[in-house]
Amino acid sequence: MGYDSIRIERERSSFVVTVCDPEIVKSNRSSDRSDSPAPWKDPNVEYKFETKEATLAFLDKAMDIALPPDTYTSAFDKLAKEAGGTPDE
């Protein structure tokens, strides 16, 4: 499972939502650069919900955290505009 992702799986009568936690990703990256690195932690965390409604309520709030806007696209769009180009859609 990649970064910036959400996965929903059906598990009998419940739903399991796996999200990539950006704070854990950030911590893992900063640990890679320090003299005393902390142990690596899997950023993909799972939550179990008994109903579709509870699952959707969680997703409604979690999507903006787990799926941030594509900062690379906006950065490249700005560079392209400065160079006289336009996004090819």
Extract the runs of DSSP E, i.e. beta strands, from the chain: 6-11, 14-20, 44-49
b vs e for 48-68, b when ≥16 Cβ sit within 10 Å of the residue's Cβ?
Answer: ebeeeeebeebbeeeeeebee
pLDDT digit string, tens, across residues 23-82: 888 888 887 676 777 788 999 999 999 999 999 999 998 888 877 666 556 666 676 777
pTM of the model: 0.67
